[in-house]
Structure 1
Amino acid sequence: MYKSMLSIKNSAGLLVIAATAAWGFNACSPGGKKKEPETELKPVTYATASVQLLQPEYELSVPAELKPYEQVAVHAKVTGFVKQLYVDRGDHVRNGQLLALLEAPEMEQQYLSDKSTEQKVYNDYRYAKQAYERLMEASVTNGAVAAIELDRAKSAMESTRSAYEASRAGTAHASQLREYLRIRAPFDGVITERTVSNGALAGTGSSKPLFRMAQGNTLRLTVALPEKHAASVKPGMQATFTVSSQPGKTFDAVLSRTSGLLDQQDRSLTLEFDVPNPLGELQGGDYAQVNLKLQRKSPSHWVPGKSILNTQSGTYVMTLNDQEIRRIPVKEGIRLDTLTEVFGNLSPEDHILLKPSEEIKASR
């Protein structure tokens, strides 16, 4: 009896030890780890802004140059010696005013010779004409003048008339050449340079002009407008400008003309403003700073400047529409405060990321 009860107690103890070992094994095994509660990932959100469709007026300050309205180098058309100079640097002259006188004796002799020849041929023409008219009067009587004689007189008259007209044209040519010895001003202006003295040889054999002159009562304000602003120019556009020689003073101007095409060298549009200068306040050749008021001809897209992503592959904005992110290539236009004009495949319904990054992956 005592042995049986001892056997039963030993068996129960072994069962307890086995159960404890099994529990410990299960607790230590990987499958027995306690599962942590799973946390849900919240979707990432981005700050966005709408694309604005605007047509604002904006100001632009660009450098410019004041030039004489007209300027020319005055040359002698014929060769001759300078006989007399009537003006010097700084003189104001009127259109047609005599500036200098050249002398060329051989040209004068040629004119006198042509004039004498013209007079002789004219006398021959008058004689032939009178002879023909007399024969015409005589031919009224039948049989008084033979028809062949009348025709011969008419032919002689026409021949001498042609010779007279040719001689008169030759004389006019010599007279015109002689007139070229008188150098006259082509327009109202001021002499900016005199390059010869009395007795100097001038004319077609010399590339050096006698004078240089410019028109100063009206000036041209010339502006090279960058390509991105060329589409904002409109007829009659107003402008104000300043020059360094007169600090603090502002002048007004109105657009007169444009080049119409972009310059292929610097990709700019040339604007010209005619500036009246009756009192001579301004000088041709001055540099100026011009303020222009520009406006696009039609509305364009504008976005916050910080929403533009500049990368090595190009310039982009990132749109977020219907939980879909897209990268849109754009070209930058002008800047106005915190907004920047952009050109690309955008619409006012688009929402763009305010802080784009290359790390943000596009949906497609």
Structure 2
Amino acid sequence: MYQSISKNRISPALRALTIILAFVVTACSPRGKGQKPTQNTKPTTVSYPTAPVQFINPQYEISVPGELNPYEQVSIYAKVKGFVKQLYVDRGDRVHKGQLLALLEAPEMEQRYLSNKSNEQKIYSDYLYAKQAYERLVDASKTTGAVADIELDRAKSTMESAKSAYQASQAGTAHSAQLQQYLRITAPFDGVITQRNVSVGALAGTDSNIPLFLMAQGNKLRLTLSLPERHATSVQGDMQATFTVSSQPGKIFDAALSRTSGLLNQQDRSLTLEFDVDNPSDELQGGDYAQVKLILQRKKPSFWVSSKSILHTQSGKYIMTLDDNAIKRIAIKEGIRVDTLTEVFGNLSPENHIILKPSAEIQEGPLKN
């Protein structure tokens, strides 16, 4: 009876110890199968959008200012000194080549011409006498012993001297006659008188710095413009141009390239272009300013990239290439721009791929995987 009661008391204690041990073992064991193990994350690979460099030769249009000038313009001076005797034209008159514009008078010049002409006639008479004398001696010398050889030589020398004197007098007379022609002031080409600076009775001549007339050709004009240096190699021999003038808004005129300066102007580093413009109806005026549009093209292809792919830094301008999984920074110089593209010059090849959005933080070298 006693033993039975003891066994009944020990059994609950054992049960409690068993429960405690089970709890401790469960707490120390790994988490249940329902919880997923943590996965290791791999580093992401950095990528940059790129585009191939373009090796092309596009046409492009630029607009530059120009000026319309007379095809020919000249200041007309008197070549000899004289008084203005008559004026035949005034400002605004249209004249033809060779037309008489003014007449000068110089009485002493007329007297000089008459004197030279008289002297020429006298010397001519002396020459004729010497020539006849020589010819008579030649006829007489046909008879043996009639004329000594020395006399014949002397007569020939006299004749030749007279001939030379006569020719010199002819030149003197022609010179005087030519000076008289300079008293007639004529137009050197077809054009218009733009200015008249003298009146009848005024003294004109080589000592005056003021021209008698200013004259310009208006039926043909020169369109002149200065092309910036960066476009100088894009000029073609048959290049066409269109232009407008402020005096006739909305109207477009055409012109073809006639000539270039060939060399850059050292002051503004530009190439001078000239276009001949026919103006038979005087629709255009010399002196007008024009806005000229040109279609240009390089003589050979060049490299072009997106304008946004050029990296501007304090040390210069660069583009960044991504080729063979490596980044490289290349120094460049900019050329011209066409829409969203910019011409660049540097150590490039047609196989390069350009990073479209470069930044100074992007490091050169291989990309890390």
When normalised by structure 1's length, the TM-score is: 0.87
Which residue does the alignment assign to 2:197? 195
Which residue does the alignment assign to 1:210? 212
Structure 1 residue runs of 4 or more that deviate by more than 3 Å after TM superposition: 36-40
* Cα distance in structure 2, aligned partners of 1:148 and 1:331: 90
Measured on the aligned residues, the alpha-carbon RMSD in Å equals: 1.5
Deviation, structure 1 residue 45: 1.4
Which residue does the alignment assign to 2:225? 223
Deviation, structure 1 residue 39: 4.5
When normalised by structure 2's length, the TM-score is: 0.86
Whether 1:96 aligns to 2:98 is yes
After TM superposition, the structure 1 = structure 2 runs for residues 1-364 of structure 1, keeping only pairs within 5 Å, are: 39-363=41-365
* Cα distance in structure 1, aligned partners of 2:193 and 2:314: 56
* Cα distance in structure 2, aligned partners of 1:175 and 1:314: 73
Q: Give the residue type in structure 2 aligned to 1:166.
A: A
Q: Give the residue type in structure 2 aligned to 1:235.
A: G
* Cα distance in structure 1, aligned partners of 2:212 and 2:74: 11
SS, match of residue 247 in structure 1: coil
State the identity as a percent: 73
* Cα distance in structure 2, aligned partners of 1:338 and 1:252: 29
* Cα distance in structure 2, aligned partners of 1:162 and 1:199: 42
SS, match of residue 101 in structure 1: strand
Q: Give the residue type in structure 2 aligned to 1:46.
A: Y
Q: Deviations for 1:110-134, whole angstroms, at most 9, x for unmatched residues?
A: 1111111111111100111111111
Deviation, structure 1 residue 361: 2.2
Which residue does the alignment assign to 2:27? none
* Cα distance in structure 1, aligned partners of 2:84 and 2:365: 84
Q: Give the residue type in structure 1 aligned to 2:261.
A: S
Q: Gaps spanning 5+ residues in structure 2: where?
A: 1-37
Q: Give the residue type in structure 2 aligned to 1:97.
A: Q
SS, match of residue 365 in structure 2: coil
Q: Deviations for 1:234-261, whole angstroms, at most 9, x for unmatched residues?
A: 1111111111111111111111111111
Which residue does the alignment assign to 1:29? none
Q: Deviations for 1:40-75, whole angstroms, at most 9, x for unmatched residues?
A: 332321111110111111111111111111111111
* Cα distance in structure 1, aligned partners of 2:196 and 2:365: 74
* Cα distance in structure 1, aligned partners of 2:134 and 2:165: 17
SS, match of residue 122 in structure 1: helix
Deviation, structure 1 residue 38: 6.5
Deviation, structure 1 residue 214: 0.7
Q: Between Structure 1 and Structure 2, how many residues are aligned?
A: 329
Deviation, structure 1 residue 228: 1.1
SS, match of residue 300 in structure 2: coil
